Chain A
Amino acid sequence: MSDQVSPSEDQSTGLIKSTQELGAGLFLMAVAAFAYWQGFDLPRGSLRAMGPGMLPMALTFMVGAGGLLMVIYSFFEAGPRLERWSLRGPFFIFGGIIVFALLIRSCGLMVAGPASMIFAMLASDEFEWKEATIFSIAMTIICILLFKTLLRLPIPVIGTLLEPIFPF
């Protein structure tokens, strides 16, 4: 994906030879465990007449087995270290999307737009209130003109909650 980052050096010392591989394996095993918990009671049927649970369970076991293999490899084969995880980016970006989802019906794009964009912009180190406010309002106006006026998408601009205040 991003080629700018120099690939983190391979680990060769210690018990675990690649924390990234270990994490990847554990992640897959967790997914498999969750899928098993969700799907183990589905009827599996027979090969002649497969039930709804047959394929999901087969795949679940394969994903789990793949995860286990990765965990085992991580003790033997040197590989990349797990990168540092940042919290700020994911929190504000995904938070911004959630803000949009929560506001779009009730308050419409004219509120959801600026609110979600300003929230998301907090993810950047160079955040500035004035710039963010002006930019997000301008973007919202562009979006309304583009998606509502020009393309006639059924996206709410005013929203059910604010409709009584803006009677047009």
Chain B
Amino acid sequence: MEAFFGNLALGFGVALTLKNIFLCFVGCMVGTLIGVLPGVGPIATIAMLLPITFGFDPTGALIMLAGIYYGAQYGGSTTAILVNIPGEATSVVTVLDGHQMAKQGRAGVALGMAAIGSFFAGTVATLFIAALGQPLTKLAQLFGPAEYFSLMIMGLVFAVVLARGSILKAICMILLGLLLATVGTDLETGQERMTLGIQDLSDGIDFAVLAMGIFGFAEIVRNLENPETRDVVRAAIGKLWPGKDDFRQSYFPILRGTFIGAILGILPGNGAVLGPFASYTVEKKIAKDPKRFGRGAIEGVAGPESANNAGAQTAFIPLLTLGIPPNAVMALMVGAMTIHGIIPGPQVMTKNPELFWGMVASMWIGNLMLVIINLPLIGLWVKLLQVPYRMMFPAIMIFCCIGIYSINNSTSDVLFTAFFGLVGYTLLKFGFEPAPMLLGFVLGKLMEEKLRQALILSRGSFTTFIERPVSAGLLFVAIVMLALALLPSIRKGRDEVFTE
């Protein structure tokens, strides 16, 4: 307990310098600014804004990045409530009741409650990370290559189960991601693999390039193809601070949402995405009058938004303690950390305690900042959302181009991004969901490394994955999950959750 407070105090000591508060503020601000644009999710936002953090020291850069991350998340929710467009998978649920509230002239209350719920969830999740960080790091040090490999397999299985649509397609996407990750120089022999003789590919495909192509550019093309149905709220925004009744109705949904989101967020394989869905389902199930849902029930905003933010934050846990990014956004964080010379994993906490705890503390400050910045600036976001898409997309494109170019000062990166944009567009046309592919790509290199190490240790025998109890347990969970997802009855339920 003493260590817990000591660590938090250390963290706040780092995060509360004037410079770091300023960086956090700027991060939140630009993160929201870009994240609010319809069709630009957190992944594209972070990839785009990554270069602006390059000029700072690692701690400052990561604090700014955390700010960008929360800003991007909250920007997505703002778009979901004000326009009928979810910025990303996790705000799909917010659209249902949030936009209805906005149509009834209660957009302000919805946004206010989303911010308050998010802030509460963020506070709890920060404490959660601080409490769980150390024990999990100790646990991670007991992990051998076989356990790491099995854990990542479990993460990928989760991603398959959580993906929308056909399970076969999701599995194929993961495999494709893993295959893409093998491009580049082989770790052990130094031999170039599948680089097509292109010099720039010898280091492998850059994650930001792949993510930006598939999530940024492909989405622009997709949006242009479909006639614009942006439904920016015309009604007044109304007051921001929720009334007494709103609070009374929201206390428990926020508590439950926070709990659900925080737990699901820790799961490898993007469990965070499930949080808002689970929270919404729970609230609807236990509501006295479920008919209100979908017609502007405040619980349908408060619960899922809290779950969303709690999950977004606890998703840092697998990354910071095990070095395994649980989703694509966290993979970008890995990229950003590596650029600053930090390799995420259990050693960060022991070797750079200031950085680790500073970042944890800045998460809380970031959440507070969001409430302070966003609520007064809602008018500005509304204005921004009214800009027609024909002007929005060239702006998004040029930001993406400048962002990608600046990461490595490389024109070939920009060209690769265009190529992957085309690939992403093709995948969308064939009904593939690109998120699992990105996760496969993210984990690919680490998985191959661990697989090879495990097999060297076991002299080429695959039984090592079953003989070691922790590894066997993780694989067992993975198999059970996959089997459950394939059962027809559960499969139907899963489809319902995602279509609701």
Contacts and interface: CB of A to CB of B under 8 A. Distances in A.
Interface of A: 1-5, 20-21, 23-24, 27-28, 31, 35, 38-39, 42-43, 46-53, 55-56, 59-60, 62-63, 66-67, 69-70, 73, 80, 82-83, 85-86, 89-90, 93-94, 96-98, 100-102, 104-105, 109, 113, 116-117, 120-121, 123-124, 126-127, 135-136, 139-140, 143, 147, 151-155
A92 to B, nearest CB: 9
B72 interface: no
A100 B414 contact: yes
Nearest to B459: A48
Interface in B218-236: 219-226, 229
A48 B172 CA distance: 27
A121 B394 contact: yes
Given A66-B172, A151-B55, 5 more contacts: A89-B220, A101-B405, A121-B390, A153-B51, A153-B54
Given A27-B426, A104-B414, A117 B397 contact: yes
Contacts of B448: 55
A90 B425 contact: yes
Nearest to A144: B402
Given A5-B226, A31-B176, A123-B224, A50 B393 contact: no
A117 B179 contact: no
B52 interface: yes
B127 interface: no
Interface in B419-437: 421-422, 425-426, 428-433
B431 A80 contact: yes
B380 interface: no
A4 B455 contact: no
A77 to B, nearest CB: 10
16 contacts: A24-B169, A38-B196, A39-B194, A49-B460, A55-B448, A59-B178, A63-B176, A93-B421, A94-B422, A97-B400, A97-B418, A98-B418, A101-B414, A116-B397, A153-B52, A153-B406
Contacts of B142: none
B167 to A, nearest CB: 11
Contacts of B3: none
Contacts of A66: 168, 171-172, 175
B217 A97 contact: yes
Interface residues of B, number: 72
Contacts of A154: 406, 409
Most chain B CB atoms below 10 A, which of A21, A27, A52, A151? A52
A100 B448 CA distance: 36
B406 A51 contact: no
Nearest to B178: A59
A147 B402 contact: yes
B395 interface: yes
B246 interface: no
A4 B226 CA distance: 8
Contacts of A127: 390
Interface string B391-420: 101110111111001100101101101100
Most chain A CB atoms below 10 A, which of B217, B388, B401, B422? B401
Nearest to A112: B401
A133 to B, nearest CB: 12
A55 to B, nearest CB: 5
A28 B179 CA distance: 12
A124 B422 contact: no
Nearest to B92: A3
Contacts of A46: 460
Contacts of B224: 89, 93, 123-124
B189 interface: yes
Contacts of B468: none
Contacts, number: 194
Contacts of A93: 217, 220-221, 224, 393, 397, 421
Give the top 3 A-B pairs by smallest Cβ distance, nearest first: A48-B460, A52-B186, A47-B460
Most chain B CB atoms below 10 A, which of A28, A55, A124, A127? A55
Interface in B167-222: 168-169, 171-172, 175-176, 178-179, 182, 186, 188-189, 191, 193-194, 196, 217, 219-222
Contact of B428 (A1, A4, A117): A1
Contact of A69 (B168, B223, B398, B422): B168
Contacts of A109: 402
A48 B455 contact: yes
A4 B229 contact: yes
Contacts of A123: 221, 224, 393
B302 to A, nearest CB: 23
A50 B222 contact: no
B284 interface: no
B172 to A, nearest CB: 4
Contact of B430 (A20, A39, A98, A116): A20
Given A2-B223, A93-B421, A100 B398 contact: yes
B225 A89 contact: yes
A3 B86 CA distance: 9
B456 interface: yes
B202 to A, nearest CB: 13
A101 B222 CA distance: 22
Nearest to B190: A52
B191 A52 contact: yes
Most chain B CB atoms below 10 A, which of A21, A101, A139, A151? A101
Nearest to A102: B411
Contacts of B394: 96, 117, 120-121, 135-136, 139
A135 B169 CA distance: 41
Contacts of A100: 398, 401, 405, 414
B431 A20 contact: yes
A52 B189 contact: yes
B494 to A, nearest CB: 17
A155 B52 CA distance: 12
